[in-house]
A and B are shown apart, each in its own frame.
Chain A
Amino acid sequence: MEGVLAIWQRDITKFFRDKARLFGSFTMPVLFLLIFGGGMSGTMETMMAGNMGETAADFNYIEFVFPGIVSMTLLMTSVFSALSIIEDKDFGYMKEILVSPVSRISIAVGKMFGAASVATIQGVILFALIPFLGLSYDPLSVLQVIPFMFLLACALSGLGLLFASLIRSTQGFQMTVNILVMPMIFLSGALFPVNNLPGWMEAVVTVNPVTYGVHVMKNVMVDVENTPAEVAEAMGLNLSVFGQEVTVFGAVVFILIFAVLLALLATKSFSRANA
């Protein structure tokens, strides 16, 4: 446990000490929100609420996209934070960790928690913008969603971890991760609805953990009971997989399993590593 904490704490300490990274991590999500929330909301609303009739006025794209942007921020930060593993390999510090008696699973979990914490901090920073976007969420549901954000970030950083432990170069890692991250954002319902997609894309949506992340975030944050049915549909509050309605609980379990599985895979690759 001490090992997990130490590895976690080192990554957090380094995050707060790196001024450029800190600045970037504050600005990037804000930029996304400006582009998607401010710039594109008019277009998106016309497109998405076109056939909703009189309830169309109740549909607000910013409300749709906000949980999506938060998820997207979690995804990008989590996965890219795993870069610290490649850095540690390059600068030799990974050797110091690997020759120590810290168990291999502690290394994987510590790294996972480190990346997930950084990502969650960034996601939470976005909440500060809620009043400026003309949105109103129940403060309690916003608080409720934070632990879930951490879980989602764990699953996603697990993905980064696995790649980082397999790939040797920084460039290779960035390339691979870019290829991975793009479809995960676009095929998750984070930025636009994912209805009526061709079959293979549907399959990506189904296995994509971000899909379930966005689903849970929307359902927890939005006041579902007081949302008209058509709006709820347009908001993507209802997600069904193989004809089955996905519950919040079901989605959480899916992400939990995903996180555990990746932690184990990363552990395995650390056990083999000869840094």
Chain B
Amino acid sequence: MQAMIEVRGLTKTYKETDAVKGISFDVEEGEIFGFLGPNGAGKSTTINMICTMLKPTSGDILINGYDVSKEKNRVRESIGLIFQQNTLDTKLTANENLKFHCRFYNVPKNVREERIQEVLAIVDLTESRYSKVETFSGGMQRRLEIARGLLHYPRVLFLDEPTVGLDPQTRAHLWEYILKLKKEQGITMFLTTHYLDEAEISDRVAIMDKGQIIAVDRPSKLKDQLGGDIIELSTNDNDQALKEIHENVQDAEVTVHEGTIHIKVASSDAFISSFLKSLSIPVTKLNIRKPTLNDVFMAFTGRNIGEAGDI
């Protein structure tokens, strides 16, 4: 099977800095591909190059089999974009925004009405069709943008920080719509987000840092690589506790984050009871959890995604 997006040796060099340093990856048809990294990692630059908005310094990009630098219009027809920034015309109605989009993308006249009804139904905006966009809430505008991005039946939908600035409830709803889309329409999705819990819905994620891709895999695989479980504990005397841990525990990674001791172990079940007996200091807080993408991110980049960015 041919990949929906193929990136080979992609580079972007500005006057003095290399924003993107020769990256390569594939996005398979029908998958949700999460693209993660702190601000300044080169994510936006990469997306802009994939979307025909920025000319690469070198390297090749194929989308849906079309060359991004030679067949721009074919590529543009194949993709839908949901930007971080609002790109609706708020002075126009939802209906007008959708109609203009159909015309920009040469959607055949006889299917326009049907498609507009269809996409509005997907995002539950049928009743607001003839209202001006400026009267919409932030969540409604986002949904309308998603609806608009689907009008021309793109093969790939790019979602660049689609939930920034939305309240948690709206965010949760939006992900429901996105998962529904993947299930019902089989659209390939290319997703960037700062919220790593949201990236968990990805089939695969790529982690980018300092212009390079440092890991591409399924979220579960990446988390497995870190080892089985993470035990977080606080005690009355962390220093003493650490000393005892180092004496008693051999094959575990121990780190301290903000007054909490993190211990990575292959399996917590066998480890925990004997471990707790070995400690002489009372434990005030104990939490056993599976690694999250944030742990993965930290392991690869040495920092939290939140610390690295300015959002």
Q: Are B104 and A14 in contact (CB under 8 A)?
A: no
Q: B interface vs A, CB < 8 Å? A: 48, 51-54, 72-73, 76-77, 79, 81, 83, 85-92, 96, 100-101, 103-106
How would residues 251 to 275 of chain A score, 1 for a CB under 8 Å from any chain B CB and 0 otherwise?
0000000000000000000000011
Among A92, A93, A100, contact of B105 (Cβ-Cβ < 8 Å): A100
Q: Are A101 and B106 in contact (CB under 8 A)?
A: yes
Are B100 and A101 closer than 8 Å at their CB atoms?
no
The answer to whether A6 and B104 have CB atoms under 8 Å apart is yes
Q: How far is the CA of A97 from the CA of B100 in the complex (A)?
A: 10
Name 19 extra pairs, CB < 8 A, besides A10-B89, A17-B91, A91-B86. A3-B104, A5-B103, A6-B100, A10-B100, A13-B96, A14-B89, A95-B53, A95-B87, A96-B88, A96-B104, A98-B53, A99-B51, A99-B52, A100-B104, A100-B105, A101-B73, A101-B77, A102-B104, A274-B54
Closest to B86 in A: A92
Q: Does A2 interact with chain B (Cβ within 8 Å)?
A: yes
A-B residue pairs, 5 tightest by C-beta: A6-B103, A100-B104, A92-B87, A101-B73, A101-B76
Contacts of A96 in B (CB 8 A): 87-88, 101, 104
| B92 A274 Cβ-Cβ under 8 A | no
Closest-CB distance, B85 to chain A (whole angstroms): 5
- Bound complex: CA A174 to CA B48 (Å): 30
Contact indicator B83/A95 (Cβ below 8 Å) = yes
Q: Which of B51, B53, B76, B89 has the most CB of A within 10 A?
A: B89
Given contacts A14-B91, A274-B53, contact A99 B86 (CB under 8 A): no
Q: How long is the Cα–Cα vector from A95 to B52 in the complex, in angstroms?
A: 11
Min distance, Cβ B152 to any Cβ of chain A, angstroms: 9
Give the residues in chain B near A95, CB-CB below 8 Å: 53, 81, 83, 85, 87
CB contacts (< 8 Å) of B91 on chain A: these are: 14, 17-18
- Would you list 27 pairs from A and B whose C-beta atoms are within 8 A, ordered by A residue? A2-B106, A10-B89, A10-B92, A10-B96, A10-B100, A13-B96, A17-B91, A91-B86, A91-B90, A92-B85, A92-B86, A93-B87, A93-B88, A93-B89, A95-B81, A95-B87, A96-B88, A96-B104, A97-B104, A99-B51, A100-B104, A101-B73, A101-B77, A101-B105, A103-B73, A274-B53, A275-B53
Task: State whether B73 touches A274 (Cβ < 8 A).
Answer: no
List residues 75-96 of chain A with CB under 8 A from any CB of chain B.
Answer: 91-93, 95-96
- Rounded to whole Å, the gap between the CB of B127 and the closest CB of chain A is 22
For A275, what are the chain B residues with a Cβ–Cβ distance below 8 Å? 53
A143 CA / B103 CA spacing, docked (Å) = 32
Which residues of chain A are within 8 angstroms of B76 by Cβ–Cβ distance? 99-101
